[in-house]
């Protein structure tokens, strides 16, 4: 099946997914470095419905992981501040909650799978105890029941000989097994929203397919919403219902996955799709590339951040930044020239 056909097949269920369980509006993150206050995320917005997967895509440095950490309230330090916007989980603004209340929700109603499982897991605590922790913290599960539940969760995520693995430490497991453990921890309390940050990046192709299949199966079983962060559009086509494209700290396009693959409306999205390798009987042409690089936070232009790399850019694009404009019931784009893409 082609990427487009796969994407179209994934798009249909999104229409019937209901009201959003997570709504992000106007999210902004500022980083202070010496005399400068840099705008790392600016006016980020999207929604996520129950049982739906939203793919968040973009080049490295576009702000995907920072967005995920901001949703979880794991980004705030003396130098990094969430200074605007709203993150509403079933109508409750997570950004306005006291830290203690956020701790009660984090891991129970909204959970995260981190990009690198070896750093996400505690190296000196057994696998079983790490899975037991959210069960005991959030659900008040007793020690023996939590131990049994940890073994059952390991079995649920496809780990054989789960009772023995529960006694192991992270360094004793393969990369694929460690990623399954982080998934078991994230789903232990059956969250409403699962944030998966590049969950297959460090894994070989076979294990990647297994992990993606596992996430789809768990989502179907539990009805949870999933924010899937990736730079791999093949993963998006296979897994997501809708897509939000990020560039330089902003969302520049949102669309159902089928519509995005059929006709991207932002020049950056079109460039990403053109860069996907394709198998052809004839001698393949050189891969298309997007010239230039994502601008640094100290060099963000006044107008469209993509203008310097865009073949359609005009003086208007350079001078004035476009807002994210709705162009259909499920589609929006931030581009002055989207009708020419």
pLDDT-based confidence at 5, cuts 50/70/90? low
Q: Does 94 fall in a domain?
A: yes
- The reply to whether 60 and 170 lie within a common domain is no
Residue 3 has pLDDT above 80, yes or no: no
pLDDT-based confidence at 7, cuts 50/70/90? low
Q: Does 308 fall in a domain?
A: no
- The reply to whether 65 and 206 lie within a common domain is yes
- The reply to whether 151 and 260 lie within a common domain is no
Q: What is the mean pLDDT of the chain?
A: 91
User: Residue 11: what pLDDT?
Assistant: 57
- The reply to whether 275 and 208 lie within a common domain is yes
Q: Does 10 fall in a domain?
A: yes
User: Residue 241: what pLDDT?
Assistant: 96
Distance CA 322, CA 334 (A): 5
Containing H/E element for 120?
helix 117-120
Domain closes at, from 292, 308, 330:
292
- Which 8-state DSSP code applies to residue 106? B
Comparing CA positions, the residue from 325, 246, 232 lying closest to residue 40 is 246
Domain closes at, from 252, 273, 292:
292
Q: Which of 15-19, 112-116, 212-216 comes out lowest in average pLDDT?
A: 15-19
User: Residue 115: what pLDDT?
Assistant: 85
User: Residue 196: what pLDDT?
Assistant: 96
- The reply to whether 97 and 4 lie within a common domain is yes
- The reply to whether 122 and 87 lie within a common domain is no
pLDDT-based confidence at 247, cuts 50/70/90? very high
Tokens of 200: 């297959």
Cα 119–137–143 angle (5° rounding)?
100
- The reply to whether 206 and 179 lie within a common domain is no
Contact 4, 11 (CB under 8 A): no
- The reply to whether 149 and 25 lie within a common domain is no
Higher-confidence position of 14 and 261: 261
Residue 277 has pLDDT above 80, yes or no: no
Q: Does 278 fall in a domain?
A: yes
Q: Does 148 fall in a domain?
A: yes
**pLDDT tens digits for range 17-31:** 578 999 999 999 999
- The reply to whether 16 and 127 lie within a common domain is no
Q: Does 8 fall in a domain?
A: yes
pTM of the model: 0.91
Average pLDDT over residues 169-189: 94
- The reply to whether 160 and 209 lie within a common domain is no
Q: Does 150 fall in a domain?
A: yes
Residue 13 has pLDDT above 70, yes or no: no
Contact 48, 20 (CB under 8 A): yes
Distance CA 115, CA 203 (A): 11
Instruction: Give me the torsion for CA of 27, 32, 33, 38, rounded to 10°.
Output: 40
Domain extent for 50:
1-109+192-292
Average pLDDT over residues 311-316: 96
Residue 33 has pLDDT above 70, yes or no: yes
User: Residue 317: what pLDDT?
Assistant: 97
Higher-confidence position of 294 and 162: 162
Strands 331-333 and 250-256: antiparallel
User: Residue 206: what pLDDT?
Assistant: 85
- The reply to whether 93 and 238 lie within a common domain is yes
Domain closes at, from 144, 172, 188:
188
CATH number at residue 101: 3.40.50.300
- The reply to whether 249 and 224 lie within a common domain is yes
Comparing CA positions, the residue from 194, 245, 192, 191 lying closest to residue 46 is 245
Number of domains in the chain: 2
Q: Does 142 fall in a domain?
A: yes
Share of the chain above pLDDT 70, in %: 92
Higher-confidence position of 201 and 280: 201
């Amino acid at each position: 099946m082609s990427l487009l056909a796969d994407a179209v097949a994934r798009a249909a269920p999104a229409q019937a997914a209901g009201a959003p369980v997570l709504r992000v509006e106007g999210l902004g993150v500022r980083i202070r470095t010496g005399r400068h206050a840099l705008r790392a995320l600016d006016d980020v917005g999207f929604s996520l419905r129950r049982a739906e997967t939203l793919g968040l895509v973009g080049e490295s440095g576009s702000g995907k992981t920072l967005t995920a950490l901001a949703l979880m309230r794991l980004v705030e330090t003396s130098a990094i501040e969430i200074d605007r916007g709203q993150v509403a989980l079933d109508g409750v603004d997570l950004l306005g909650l006291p830290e203690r209340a956020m701790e009660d929700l984090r891991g129970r109603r909204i959970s995260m799978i981190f990009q690198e499982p070896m750093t996400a897991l505690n190296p000196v605590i057994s696998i079983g105890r790490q899975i037991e922790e959210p069960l005991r913290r959030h659900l008040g599960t007793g020690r023996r029941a939590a131990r049994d539940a940890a073994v059952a969760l390991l079995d649920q995520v496809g780990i054989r000989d789960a009772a023995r693995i529960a006694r192991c430490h992270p360094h004793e497991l393969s990369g694929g097994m460690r990623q399954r453990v982080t998934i078991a921890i994230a789903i232990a309390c059956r969250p409403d929203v699962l944030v998966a940050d590049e969950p297959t990046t460090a894994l070989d192709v076979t294990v990647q397919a297994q992990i993606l299949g596992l996430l789809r199966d768990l989502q179907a079983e539990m009805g949870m919403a999933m924010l899937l962060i990736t730079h791999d559009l093949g993963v998006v086509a296979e897994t997501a219902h809708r897509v939000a494209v990020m560039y330089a700290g902003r969302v520049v396009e949102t669309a159902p996955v089928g519509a995005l693959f059929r006709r991207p409306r932002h020049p950056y999205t079109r460039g990403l799709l053109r860069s996907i390798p394709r198998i052809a009987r004839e001698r393949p042409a050189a891969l298309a590339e997007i010239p230039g690089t994502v601008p640094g936070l100290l060099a963000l232009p006044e107008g469209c951040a993509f203008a310097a790399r865009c073949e359609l850019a005009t003086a208007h694009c350079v001078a004035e930044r476009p807002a994210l404009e709705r162009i259909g019931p499920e589609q929006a784009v931030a581009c002055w020239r989207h009708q020419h893409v």
